[in-house]
Structure 1
Amino acid sequence: MVKRTGIMLQLLFIIVLSGCWSKAELKDVSIVSGVGIDLAEKDQFEITTQTITPAEVRKNKPGAVTVQSTTGFTIFEAARDLIIKTGKKQNWQHINAYIISEEAAKAGVTPLVDFLTRDHEPRFRMNALVAKDKAKDILNLKSKTNAVPSIGIKTILQEERNLAKAPQVELHDFVQRMMAPHNDPYLPIIRKVKDDFEIFGSAVFKEDKMIGELTPRETRGMLRVLGEVKGGLQVVKFGEHKGKTNYLSIEIKKSKASIQAKISQNTVKMIIEIEEMGFLGSMTRPVEELSDKEIREMEQAYADTIKKEVKHTVSKIQKEFNSNVFNFAGVINREDKMFWKEHHQEWETLHPSLDVLVRVKTHIPRNGLTANNPGE
């Protein structure tokens, strides 16, 4: 009996551990690292994939990265056509960059992400970007930071995010914002510069269409309101020295923000409060010793600079773009559900006319300040 049981267990292990019936050999699969979407003629899309051969990448061979393009009336059709064109199944589980051309983004991105939400293979943690040029051209560029250009894009994107010059947005966050009522998405912008690329600023959306863009400085203002600033450098004007403007360089260490709605007598005021701490990195005016009064004045100049930057950005997004990036509607709904119920149908006209108050509190710690600044 024991012997029979042992044989049955061995047979069971053979069946269970024999492997996956649907596995594909690595040599028959192309690993997709980057995807580009452009508009093509006759209402079609052009899809470009940047694929890698792991063994070739390790050896740093020229054929390690391959870029292929094809067209179709849907992204799914074009993706399947690439299998026929290359003779290999394309694995979409390791995509680093999903790039949409500005032209396609302005036409509407719903059909460009629908395939990704339905197919089981793509992972939603891929980084999404908008290209000022053709997405195809971006994927054909060589990266100076990595043998695989799309990985190089991911690396630079992380660096720009840490400097608060561009947001880093994963596809699942983008889709979630796009589908949520009165909460519009945004993406970083990538563009071609000679034989390389750079990431700068943001593309702002209204529902699923790109409606405008922000400079790196305006992007920092947006990210401050959203509580997404993780670092960076803030230049602040601080008086004059010998007839020239004195500048401070402040390294941002901590930044947090909150948004509230104050509703009184059927009138709404949005209140944005920002608290930020930064270290003084340098200044153009030599100072023998910084007094407590001077530090307080620096903090005030720092706060005034942030306030000006944020007010400009909020006004541009709210009034010029009428985009709901800051989700003011959600804040109002949480504050006064009855008011929101009575006015939500007027939101498109109410939103750009909202009064927005910006309050900023800054702190520059004494540690790191020197009493013997060079210069005189």
Structure 2
Amino acid sequence: MRKAISVLLIIGLLSGCSNYRELNEVGLIIAIGIDLPEERESGYRVTYQVINPSYFSQNGSGSLPVINYTVEAETFIEAYRMASVIIPRENRVTHLSLIIIGEALARAGMGLIFDVFERGESRSTFPVFIARDSTAEEVLGVVEPLESNPTKSIISTSENNQKMYAISEAIPIYRAISLLSGEGQNLMLSGVKLSQPLKSENQTANLQNIKPSVVEVSGLAMFKKDQLAGWFDGKFARTAHLITSAVESTSFPLACKGNKNITITTQGIKSDIKTELKPEPALIVNAKIRGNVTELECYLEISNNEEMIKLEKKFEKEAENQIRETITKAQELEADVFGFGKELSKDDPEYWKRHEKEWNTLFSNAEIDVNVEANISNSGMLTDPFKLQ
């Protein structure tokens, strides 16, 4: 009797997998690129990056791991369904890992394009990037030697940069939606672009190039509402993340004698921002930075406590200047991407309610007060550097 019950349970479990589909029967979409249309006056040009199952088979060595399909339609959902005219398998977005927005679309205004991802079957934790100086279709169309899967390459490059230098941050789509629909803080998204134009339309040719075209991290896009307003580049992108405490580790070269530098590598950064009324709004940033001396190009007795104190003061001044310059760039665009308005709305909701609609102007004219506290320790096998004869 017990054996008969076990057999019935197994049969029941097997029959319950009615929605099971073989991998070669579905088209798993892992990335989506969204651009302005080229062949119609309105709507979207959408690129779907689909896993190629044959690449993972024993005979798939000559194929590519992904295939891109591009369609144009009036709405995003229409594009998704129209893709069935060229994708030979049932579309699935359950494994969607990445969204790329073309810069032209971002400047025109993204509107409610993210609404569909909140309502659909895909997860809302995948990151969103802006294709800088190019289209999302172009960025998703490059296959690299180290990471032949473009989706994985973009995500891995961004995560690696966030750990090492902090220009980039992989912003999940649910956070992007929250910033677009919230108050007191504008959206800021990482940019990606091709390092150089593809020399050939044949992707295998790029794999054979000793210096191939690759996807690189390229600045931070600043938004006003849903429109791209401008970019932070280089140290300004890094410092923007320092202000929002989104830096894991980074490096600061400090000038010394003879056009040489001392490099400080940070091991911990904690920033607090707030807006004080004096009586007009003032933007306050207090940051604590811990770091090590990791490179000396000029002689400095780092075992000397007085010399280290001088170095810390120099580092504090440099960091304060960079923070001030970065906030000033955002003020010029009237784009509060740091959340000063959001902090003010929590600390003084009555003032915020009265002045919310004019916050962009108030932010752009506000005073900036920056205070950095640095703690630097010597590092490495050496204390003082060796002296050149």
- Settle same-fold status: TM greater than 0.5: yes
Matches within 5 A, 1:307-322: 307-317=320-330, 319-322=331-334
User: How far does the alpha carbon of each residue in 1:6-58 deviate from its partner, in whole angstroms, 9 at most, with x for none?
Assistant: 86786466335523323332111122222111111321211111211345146
Matches within 5 A, 1:6-85: 11=8, 14-40=11-37, 41-54=40-53, 56-57=55-56, 60-85=61-86
Partner of 1:277: 290
Please say if residues 166 and 247 of structure 2, whose CA atoms lie closer than 8 Å, have aligned partners that are also in contact: yes
Q: Indicate whether 1:249 and 2:260 are aligned.
A: no
How much has 1:372 moved relative to structure 2? Answer: 3.9
1:352 to 336, 351, 364: 364
1:226 to 238, 244, 261: 244
Kindly provide the amino acid, as one letter, of the partner of residue 255 in structure 2: K
Partner of 1:293: 306
Cα 1:150/1:289, change in 2 over 3 Å: closer
User: How far does the alpha carbon of each residue in 1:47-83 deviate from its partner, in whole angstroms, 9 at most, with x for none?
Assistant: 1112113451465442432111111111111111112
Please say if residues 127 and 172 of structure 2, whose CA atoms lie closer than 8 Å, have aligned partners that are also in contact: yes
Aligned length: 366
Distance in 2 (alpha carbons) for counterparts of 1:148 and 1:15: 39
Q: Secondary structure at the match of 1:62?
A: coil
Please say if residues 303 and 378 of structure 2, whose CA atoms lie closer than 8 Å, have aligned partners that are also in contact: no
Please say if residues 28 and 88 of structure 1, whose CA atoms lie closer than 8 Å, have aligned partners that are also in contact: yes
Cα 1:348/1:289, change in 2 over 3 Å: closer
Report % sequence identity. 21
How much has 1:338 moved relative to structure 2? Answer: 2.9
Partner of 1:143: 144
User: How far does the alpha carbon of each residue in 1:272-324 deviate from its partner, in whole angstroms, 9 at most, with x for none?
Assistant: 1011111111121134564111111111111111111111111111x211112
Distance in 2 (alpha carbons) for counterparts of 1:246 and 1:313: 24
Partner of 1:155: 156
Kindly provide the amino acid, as one letter, of the partner of residue 197 in structure 1: V
1:216 to 234, 250, 274: 234
How much has 1:211 moved relative to structure 2? Answer: 0.9
Please say if residues 36 and 104 of structure 2, whose CA atoms lie closer than 8 Å, have aligned partners that are also in contact: yes
Please say if residues 37 and 112 of structure 1, whose CA atoms lie closer than 8 Å, have aligned partners that are also in contact: no
Please say if residues 167 and 219 of structure 1, whose CA atoms lie closer than 8 Å, have aligned partners that are also in contact: no
How much has 1:188 moved relative to structure 2? Answer: 0.9
1:206 to 197, 217, 224: 224
Distance in 2 (alpha carbons) for counterparts of 1:9 and 1:54: 36
1:171 to 170, 173, 184: 173
Distance in 2 (alpha carbons) for counterparts of 1:230 and 1:289: 25
How much has 1:85 moved relative to structure 2? Answer: 1.4
Q: Secondary structure at the match of 2:114?
A: helix
How much has 1:269 moved relative to structure 2? Answer: 1.9
Cα 1:68/1:345, change in 2 over 3 Å: closer
Name which of structure 1's ranges 53-62 and 101-110 shifts more when overlaid on structure 2: 53-62
Q: Indicate whether 1:342 and 2:354 are aligned.
A: yes
Q: Point out where structure 2 has 5 or more consecutive residues left out of the alignment.
A: 197-212
Please say if residues 286 and 375 of structure 1, whose CA atoms lie closer than 8 Å, have aligned partners that are also in contact: no
Cα RMSD (Å) of the superposition? Answer: 2.1
- How high is the TM-score relative to the length of structure 1? 0.90
Distance in 2 (alpha carbons) for counterparts of 1:92 and 1:60: 26
